[in-house]
Every structure is written in C-alpha cells, then in structure tokens.
Structure 1
C-alpha cells in the first residue's frame, strides 16, 4: 500500500515560488514518460486498476523503466492510498512495448502475470495503449522528508503538485500546509490522480 500526501499547486507562478524556496534542498531531477495500457474493453479500469510503464531519464542514473500495476486508489483530503506493485524492466525493451503494445503479451513479468491471473485480460483480449503524459519531477530532501514536486505535462495543459510518501500522512500534511501557508503559496488538496486527470481530458477545477 502506497500512502502519499498530494497537494495541487495553483499555477506556474506559485509553483516557481515553491521551487525557489526549496532550491537548497534539491536532490535530483527526473524526467518521466508515463504510458498506460488496458484491454479494448477497459477491463483494468473497470476493476479500478491501472497498468503503467514509466520510463525515467536522469543524467546520473541514465534511463530505466518500471512496469507498475496500481489498484483500488482512494484520494481523500489530499491523502492518497493505492495498492501498488512495481517491477523494473530494460529501458530499450520498454520503448518497444510503448511502440507496439501487443508485445506486452510476450513480457515475462510478475506484473503481467497478475494481470492475466487476476483480471484475465492480456492473452485473451489483447492489450492496447491508452497514451500518456510526461512529468518533470524535482526531488527534495526537506526536514527529514522526501518531497516530490511535479510538473505534469498533458496535451491539454500542465498541472503542478507536491507529493510526499509517509506512514504518517496527517502529520506530513500539517507540516506541508504550514510551510505553504507561511510562504503565501496557493494550493488545494488534490482530488484526482494524474491518471484520472489524463483520462478526463481536461484540467481539474
């Protein structure tokens, strides 16, 4: 179970102000490509699950790829809880799956086995690409926390968000809100996952 605090920053002006305040705590920047997949009948989505391949580029680590299955997301008052299973795969191989989603049927992967066993979706019906979005993630080590400050680039616009994974989300949320309020940064609780925003095709209100 992944538990995260998710706060949406109002706009680019507030986002840039936040990054300036956190500048001395910067740890790394990750350029992420997120690609999503389902059956033609959306069997995974119907079962509140998401299959994603994330390709991550960083000057220090090079390129890596992670296949991920997320299930049963709950996002209430800026706290996200979701069942998550991840597996690293070769970056070049991942790109081939993005170009031709039918190749996912041949992937020897624990994640794809779960899709077959739990949802019966891959071999029987095939799998199709849904598209995706890019995300620039700046990671900061701040007050003993790892903050992930995201600029998510959809075809219909950009969203800005600060996330922090924690086993004590209410305390983290209180600390983050105090910091944002003290520095006049306009924010609200995130109400939709990035995938939900992508599927809606429009910016969240």
Structure 2
C-alpha cells in the first residue's frame, strides 16, 4: 500500500522558496476546487470523506473526480476509491446535493451500503469546501523518480502550504524529502492532520 507523506510549510515565504528551488523540475500546475458531501448528522465525517474535486482550466472546470477517502484497515496511508465525473454534473450536485444520490456510481452505492448515507432518510448535503493550487514536480534520486505535489490551500479561515508525496517506500522517501528541504533552506514539520480535518475544524491545524 502506498503511503502519502505530508510535510507542512510554515508560511508563504517558505512556499515561494521551495517553488523556486524546484522550478527546473516542474511538470505542470493546476487549480482545484474541493467540495465535500455528507448527511446532516455528518455520519461520514468520523471515518471517511466523500469529495468532488474539480480541476480548472483557464477558470472553467475541465474535469472532475468523485472520491471516497477513508482510513484503511492497517495503520498506513489512506484508502481511496475514485471515479471520473462530468464537470457540469459535479457543479449541479454542489447546487442540488440530492442529485448525487441519483448517480449511477459505485462510490455512491458503497456509501449507501456501508454508511447508510444518501437515502431518503439521510439525504446528501454539501458541506462546502476549499480551493487548492497544486504544482507537480518530478524529482530523480537513487531509488528512481518521485512525484512531488506542492500545495497552496485557501480555506475561508486562512491559507496552508504543504508538500506531498505518495510512495511505497516511506522511510527512504522521508530521508529524500528532508534532505531536499534542508538544502533548499526551507523549514518544515510533518503534518499531523489533513486538509479535510482543517476544513471541518474551521481552523488551521498542525
């Protein structure tokens, strides 16, 4: 199972410094809008996150993905199920969450079967969300290429900065990332919470 390593940067200055250091390795950048769905009792929130992510191209949604993120049975990483979603339909679900329950979607059926969310008694609501700017880099090291994602996440409550990398070799990659940030002169700490937890809490968590 791949583990997602997340390192929190303290401020915009650290983000700019790391962006400049990684600039020669940049693959692409894109803007994301993340929307979360649950029922009124927030049944899912304790164990999972049902998310619609829209990827913007020149200010308009170019594609969308429906995802269920939840803790796996073993204590490592995050289990995810994803499927593509028509961008126009994704926006329609944000305006009218009941449309989500009507999708011909394995994820929606899984949420109904395992969590009991999305039926007539527990209809979906949109909790809101946040926007994210992501820069994707490829870093070569002795163990092969790594894909790094540098995020600037804008919540209503403030902005956070984070470097992420998915890997099946977390201990080796931690050393690579620590060395990278030390050479770049960028302060950091390992994230103890994720973006969804910050969104739910209404404040920037460490």
TM-score normalised to structure 2 length: 0.91
Runs of at least 5 residues in structure 2 that lack an aligned partner in the other structure: none
Deviation digits for residues 13-38 of structure 1, max 9, x if unmatched?
01100000010111111110000010
> Aligned runs of 1:87-102 on 2, under 5 Å?
87-102=83-98
> Aligned runs of 1:34-113 on 2, under 5 Å?
34-46=34-46, 48-58=47-57, 63-72=62-71, 81-113=77-109
Task: Report the Cα offset of residue 194 of structure 1.
Answer: 0.5
Measure the CA separation in 2 of the matches of 1:179 and 1:22: 9
Say which SS state the counterpart of residue 122 (structure 1) adopts: coil
Measure the CA separation in 1 of the matches of 2:21 and 2:171: 22
Tell whether the 8 Å contact from 1:2 to 1:83 is kept in structure 2 after alignment. no
Q: Does 1:138 align with 2:135?
A: yes
Measure the CA separation in 2 of the matches of 1:5 and 1:71: 16
Task: Report the Cα offset of residue 181 of structure 1.
Answer: 1.3
Say which SS state the counterpart of residue 44 (structure 1) adopts: coil
Task: Indicate how the Cα distance of structure 1 residues 18 and 73 shifts in structure 2: closer, same or farther if over 3 A, else same.
Answer: farther
Give the alignment's Cα RMSD to 1 decimal: 1.8
Q: Does 1:195 align with 2:196?
A: yes
TM-score normalised to structure 1 length: 0.92
Task: Report the Cα offset of residue 2 of structure 1.
Answer: 4.7
Task: Indicate how the Cα distance of structure 1 residues 199 and 73 shifts in structure 2: closer, same or farther if over 3 A, else same.
Answer: farther
Task: Report the Cα offset of residue 58 of structure 1.
Answer: 3.6
Deviation digits for residues 71-93 of structure 1, max 9, x if unmatched?
1179x9xxx61110000011111
Measure the CA separation in 2 of the matches of 1:121 and 1:204: 27
> Aligned runs of 1:166-205 on 2, under 5 Å?
166-205=167-206
Where has structure 1 moved over 2 Å in runs of 4 or more? none
Measure the CA separation in 1 of the matches of 2:65 and 2:51: 8
How many residues in Structure 1 have an aligned counterpart in Structure 2?
A: 199
Larger fraction in helix? 1
Task: Report the Cα offset of residue 103 of structure 1.
Answer: 1.1
Task: Report the Cα offset of residue 182 of structure 1.
Answer: 2.1
Measure the CA separation in 2 of the matches of 1:104 and 1:114: 13
